[in-house]
Structures are given as structure tokens and as C-alpha cells.
Amino acid sequence: MGKAHFLRRAGLVALALASFGADIGAVQAQAIRATIDTGRVSAPVTAYEYGMFIEPIAGLVNQTLWAEMLDDRKFYYPVRVEGKDEKVPDTVEGRPAPAFRKWRPVGGEDAVVMDQVEPFVGKQSAAVTLAGTTPRGLIQGGMSLVASKTYVGRIQVSGDAGARVEVALIWGPGPRDRQVMTLPTLGAGWTEVPFRFTAGKASSDARLQITGTGSGGFRVGAVSLMPADNINGWRADTTAIARSLNSGMWRLPGGNFLSNWDWHQALGPRDKRVPMFDHAWSAMQTNDIGMDEWMELTHILGVEPYVTVNAGLGDANSAAEEVEYLNGAATSEWGAKRAANGHPAPYAVKWWNIGNEPYGWWQIGKTSLDYYLMKHRDFAEAMRAKEPDITLIASGAMPDQLHPRDVKENPSLESIQRKFGTEEDWTGGFFAKAMGTFDGITEHWYDRGEERPDAPADEELIEFVRSPSNHVRMKAEQWNIYRQRYPEIAKANGGKGIFLSMDEYAYMAKDGATLKSALAYAMVIQEMLRHTDFLRMAAFTSGASTMDITPTGATMNTTGLVFKLYGEHFGAGTVPVALNGNVAQPDPRHVVGSAHPQVKAGSATWPLDMIAALSPDGKALRIGIVNATFKPQSVAIDLPGKRTRGPGKVWRLTASSLNAANKVGAKPGVVLTEGKAPAMNGSLSVPPLSTSVFEYSLDGGGAPR
């Protein structure tokens, strides 16, 4: 993922732009008129345009979707007293090593040593030497519990017969604020012992303690603790919310993480998978989540998997084996390994992405364009040899995104013209030198929500909201240039043409997910739906970012509400139609920072942004309107050759303030409502600070052309 790329662009760079548009105050005074032409249709929307992206960014997945409650449960790091922990290296500039909870010794600093002789997994296990009646062992704190909730786990343990070992879940300071289980008599061989606890009270600093008394000692190789309602390792609450988004597909398992991860090492029993250090995010990963677990997640969510293979430090043969593992018959070499791991039926993964951001300085395995094209062609050949019918998506990047590491710019169509056909045009490089080896090509973008302290409130709001959708418009403008330069784009893949997959994007707003950022994401989706002729897939970063999540709860946030609103009413099969207006979008007036494309996204209905589409059966007209102003707005509607019939429906996302948010345990600040809409009668009205979707039945509605 390219987020770190944007973190380096933090400085504010004031740019003086000539004003080509009309004065904003005068434009706002002009009556808005929209013409909707239902006879001019675009390609139907696909469910894949509402996709999600996820990767193990440090503890992101473990702290949101995965149910494991313990950190470092396989003892990658030694057990030491606080203040004497090993320093974790910051392996990539701008990415500090994340903080994880640590195991601490109980019974003295020397109570635990790391035993590297026949460890259970990895390089070492925790060994405890006992001292009679004084408990000695290890403990990890900082976990959250829900009162009366049941938690399950297991411990891989060995030891001497004279050792009496207990596992305790502790939720308070008193001697009764815990539940204790005594393990059976131990032996020299490793034994798995399950345990089950019910929390007596809620706690935000619960501890799991493993201690022993008696003679001899014991060793701990791996420990796990999860809520009992986990779904094969995944959290029940967050996955239920994610399922309600109707995403179509999730892209996984990375991301930058992918470029130094070997998928082979995350197969088989979870406790026996060797933990690894992820140099992309300066974090240890337990390897509990392998391809079988990722496939289970997509099954739980009811979405299709979109798998990215490691083309950083990985090789074509490994990628081909991954295709066979996920899709091959149980009689094939790697299909048989999948079956042995408990999954005899192939997963039938259709969507495959070769590599992740190989053009980026931040990327492990970064190469030159020409070298990577050689690598890509090898991957494509090897993967298709295993299954010819998979859809391959190349890792491209357009000129607006690529520039020397220390250069900051706000790209315009004029400023990037010189880059086409150069090392700063990876997408063009694929079109020129690798046609026929991919079906689609990716684009990633990240935008920072900049402050505009010198702008009037109404202008600041509109420019903040429109900023991320300008990235989508810039990609569309460049795609038109590619279509002129490479006419074979439309003819490739048996006439189906090459498509664009915008499979990483996010707007990093200072205040997080609020009504203000929701207005921006609504404009992003509306801009994407204007380009369904080639933009057929998109994946938001990240699937977990559609929720507010705590260790014990979750709720859909404002970003999730936007995806829910559009996914349900402009979802798969919906047919976008032409919508023109009489008030063009003005040029940006308050340009700050960098990495903000200087184009004008949105419909010609300023200050509103509007889209229109026919329902899949052609019998209803749907109109989306984003009103990022502090005033109610009305728009006159011309509908040549069609008439709406009677009152309609309206779904609306709104709140009392721009900073309103949805947080776990609090009354929702932003709500999604459904109500009746009055008969259109030639115009529509929307309240301030709102996103609305109207639906009206059409007289004589039939299947769209």
C-alpha cells in the first residue's frame, strides 16, 4: 500500500492558480438545471466496484477482523521485564515499529528463559524453572473482556511431572477476580491443552497468566485466546458488519506486506506456523492468517476473493503454485496439499493481481519498469499454465502518481504530458510492451484531507469534499489518452477490452470518519460510476476502515454508511445514464499541500454533484445528489422522453454537524434514513450537508438500451 508515500508529502505548498471559472458567489446564485438522458447509457455497474482491500499492516487485521486476543502468542520475542525489550527495527523510512503487548515474567526477572532446543515452533519457546511454592511463569496484560462472555483458547505445553501448572484469566485486582484452570500432569513431549473461561466482570486491562509451582519446570510453545463466538478464527461482530456492505470482492492479502511474505509458510496447523518479521511494516506476524483463512473470510463475508501474488521478493513458480493450491483439483500436487489441510474443494479464485506497487521506492523488491515487465510476463505465463481462465490484473501506475522520491507536485494534465512513455508511466509501459499478458490493470491513490484556513467556510467545505474525487477524474482523463495512444486497449482479450481496477484508495482526513469525509466518499463513488465503461473494479483501503472498532465492539462508521447507501441503490446491474447540467464545476481556488490532481471532478450542477441511473429492470430512475454546502439546494430536472410516476422514495445520509461520527457505545451521530419523496414535478430539493438517493418509477419503463 502507498500510504507511506503520502505521509512523506506532509508539507503545505502554496500554489498560485489562475482563476478560469466564474466567481464562486455568482455561480452559486445561478439556478441549477440537470438534464437526464435515459437513452444514453453506460456499462452496468458491477458488484466489484464496491470492493474492499485488506492487508496485515502491523496489528491492523488482528485488532479488527481476526479474533486472536494475544500478541506474540508464539514467542517470537524473548520474555523480559519491562524496559529490557529488544528494539524492533524501523525497516522502512517513515514507518515506525508498532507497539505490541509483551509477555512479562512472573516470580522474578530470571523466571523465564528462552529455550532454543527443540522449540515447539520458530526459534524458541518460553521455559520456566520452578521454585517450590512460589508461582513462577509469565503473563500478558492489556486485553479487554465483556462481562459474562465466554473465551476459549489452548496452550502448547511440556514439562516435568513435578510441575503443577495453572492458566488464569484475570479481570481485576482481587483474588476472586479471576478464573483458574489447572493443567493435567505434564510430560516431556508437547501437549495441546484447551481451556475455557467466562469473564466475571468487564475489563479493559485483563491478563492471561501461566504459572507453575512444585519441582522441575515447564515450557510453553504457543498460546491462543479468542472469544468463544469467533467464526473459525474471525470476529463475529466485525465480519457481520462487513458482510452487510455487499462489497462484491475483497482484495487480499496485501499490500506492501505481501512483497516479503511467503504464502507457503502459512499452511497447516496454525500453532505450528513459524512467525515472520514483516519488513514492510516493521512488525512481527504470527502467520496465523494464511490463504485458507483468507478464503474463509471471503466465504463469511459472501464476497469473491481477489488474490494478489508476491512479485516483490516472490517468484513466478511460487505464484503458479499458489494458483494450483487455491484452484487446482485435489489430485494435483498443490491441490492435494490443500485437501490435506481440510479443504478438498477448490476455491475457484477468478481474480488475480500480479504484484503490488512495484514502482514505489517504499516497496520491497522495487525494480525498474523494463525489468519488472520481464518479471510480470514470467508470472503471467506460469500462472496461466496452471489455469488459463483466470483473470490477470497487472500492477500499473499512471504519470500523475509517479515522480522522483523527493519531488512534490499537484499534477495537472499539462504537467504530466512529458511523462507518458517514460519510466514515470508504468501503465503505458504495460500497454506498450506487455499487451496480451493481462486482462486489467491497477491504479492506487491516496489523498490527504488538507486544512484550508484562509478559505471561507463554504469554499473550504466544497474543496475538501471534492479533492479525492479529483483523483478518479484524473485517472479517467489519462485513460482517454491511453485509448488514443493504444487503440488495441478496446480490442484486447477477445474484444472485451482491458479494464481498470482502482483497487487501493483512501482519503486520510484529519478527524477520521465523519459526515464531512462521508460527503467526500459519496463524491468519489459518484465519480467512479461515471466511468463504468472501463472502471470495473475498485477496492477501498481498508475493509476495516468502514467501521469504528474496539476490542469488544464495532459499529458501522460514516464511510461504511456511504458504501451501504450506494451499494444497495447503485449496485450490480444498475445502468448509469447521462446527466448534464448548466453550471460547470469551477477550478480549485484554495490549493494546498501536494498530490492533489488539478482537474475538476463532479457533474455540471455545481455546487451539487449528481448522478443518475436506471434500475436493473429499467423500470425506475435513481438519482444521487451530494450537497456539500450549508444551505438547502434545489435543482430543476429535465427528463426528455420520459416521465416519472407519482411520489418516490429517498434514502438520505445526514447529521446535525460536519464533525458528527459513529462510535462504539455512543448514539450514532450520522444516520441513514429512508422516506417518501414527493412527486418530482420538474425539480428536486435536498437539505444541507447531505447525500441523497432518490428513486422514481418511470412511465412505460422497460429494459435499458
Q: Which helix (H) or strand (E) holds 650?
A: strand 644-655
CA angle (471 as vertex; 469, 472 as ends), nearest 5: 70
Measure the CA–CA gap between 595 and 592, rounded to whole angstroms.
Answer: 9
Measure the CA–CA gap between 474 and 402, rounded to whole angstroms.
Answer: 13
CA angle (433 as vertex; 428, 439 as ends), nearest 5: 75
Measure the CA–CA gap between 50 and 245, rounded to whole angstroms.
Answer: 8
Q: What's the chain's average pLDDT?
A: 93
pLDDT digits (tens, 9 = 90+) for 298-311: 999 999 999 999 99
- 40-49, 231-240, 272-281, 692-701, range with the lowest pLDDT: 692-701
Sheet holding 670-677, edge to edge: 670-677, 644-655, 690-698, 620-627, 608-614, 575-581, 32-41, 633-638, 683-686
Q: Which has the closest alpha carbon to 141: 71, 75, 195? A: 71
pLDDT digits (tens, 9 = 90+) for 408-427: 999 999 999 999 999 999 99
Report yes or no: 435 and 616 within 8 Å, Cβ to Cβ.
Answer: no
pLDDT digits (tens, 9 = 90+) for 682-696: 999 999 999 999 999
pLDDT digits (tens, 9 = 90+) for 429-466: 999 999 999 999 999 999 999 888 889 999 999 999 99
Residue 25: pLDDT above 50?
no
Q: Which helix (H) or strand (E) holds 159?
A: strand 150-159
Three-class SS state of 461:
helix
Measure the CA–CA gap between 451 and 516, rounded to whole angstroms.
Answer: 12
**pLDDT tier for residue 94 given thresholds of 50, 70 and 90:** low
Indicate the CATH number for domain 3-63+232-253+289-698: 3.20.20.80
Three-class SS state of 566:
helix
pLDDT digits (tens, 9 = 90+) for 610-658: 999 999 999 999 999 999 999 999 999 999 999 999 999 999 999 989 9
**pLDDT tier for residue 16 given thresholds of 50, 70 and 90:** very low
Measure the CA–CA gap between 525 and 570, rounded to whole angstroms.
Answer: 10
**Location of C-alpha cell 517470537:** 76
Residue 3: pLDDT above 70?
no
Measure the CA–CA gap between 223 and 111, rounded to whole angstroms.
Answer: 18
**DSSP classification of residue 271:** G
Phi, psi (rounded to 5 degrees) for 619: -95, -10
Residue 64: pLDDT above 90?
yes
Three-class SS state of 185:
coil
Answer yes or no: CATH 2.60.120.260 is held by domain 104-227. yes
**Location of C-alpha cell 523480559:** 80
Q: Is 122 left (phi over 0), alpha (psi -120 to 50) or beta?
A: left
Measure the CA–CA gap between 182 and 163, rounded to whole angstroms.
Answer: 11
Residue type, 446: Y
Structure-block grid coordinates of residue 568:
444497495
Three-class SS state of 381:
helix
Residue type, 699: D
**pLDDT tier for residue 97 given thresholds of 50, 70 and 90:** confident
Q: Where exactly are the structural domains of the chain? A: 3-63+232-253+289-698, 104-227
